[in-house]
Copies of this chain bind each other. A is one copy, B any other.
Amino acid sequence: MKRINTTHFAILGLLRIKPMSAYELVKFSKESIGLFWNESYGHIHKSIKNLETEGDVEIVEESATGRKKIVYGVTAQGRERLDSWLTLPPEESVMRNELLMKIFVSEEHQIPQLVDFLQAELASAEELTAVLAGIKASIPAGADRQSRLWLLTLDYGERYLQMTIDWCRHALDTLNQSNEEG
Residues of A within 8 A of B (CB): 6, 9-10, 12-14, 16-17, 32-33, 35-38, 82-83, 86-87, 89-91, 93-108, 110-111, 113-114, 116-117, 120-121, 145-146, 148-150, 152-153, 155-156, 159-160, 162-163, 166-167, 170-171, 174-175, 178
Which residues of B have CB within 8 Å of A16? 105
**B100 engages A113 (CB within 8 Å):** no
Complex CA distance for A150 and B91, rounded to whole angstroms = 27
Complex CA distance for A163 and B108, rounded to whole angstroms = 29
- Chain B's closest residue to A38 (CB) is B94
User: Residue among A94, A99, A114 with the most chain B CB within 10 A?
Assistant: A94
Q: Chain A at the B interface: mostly helix, strand, loop or mixed? A: helix
From B98, B113, B163, B178, A159 is in contact (CB under 8 Å) with B163
**B155 engages A104 (CB within 8 Å):** no
Using A37-B96, A111-B145 as known contacts, list a sample of 20 further A-B pairs with CB atoms less than 8 Å apart, ordered by residue number in A: A6-B96, A12-B105, A32-B104, A33-B100, A37-B98, A37-B101, A38-B96, A83-B110, A86-B105, A90-B102, A95-B95, A100-B156, A106-B149, A108-B145, A108-B146, A114-B149, A155-B167, A155-B170, A155-B171, A160-B163
Which residues of B have CB within 8 Å of A146? 107-108
Which residues of B have CB within 8 Å of A163? 159-160, 162-163
From B91, B98, B110, A91 is in contact (CB under 8 Å) with B98
**B178 engages A148 (CB within 8 Å):** yes
Complex CA distance for A158 and B120, rounded to whole angstroms = 22
**Known contacts A104-B150, A110-B83, A93 near B96 by CB under 8 Å:** yes
Which residues of B have CB within 8 Å of A174? 148, 152
**B95 engages A35 (CB within 8 Å):** yes
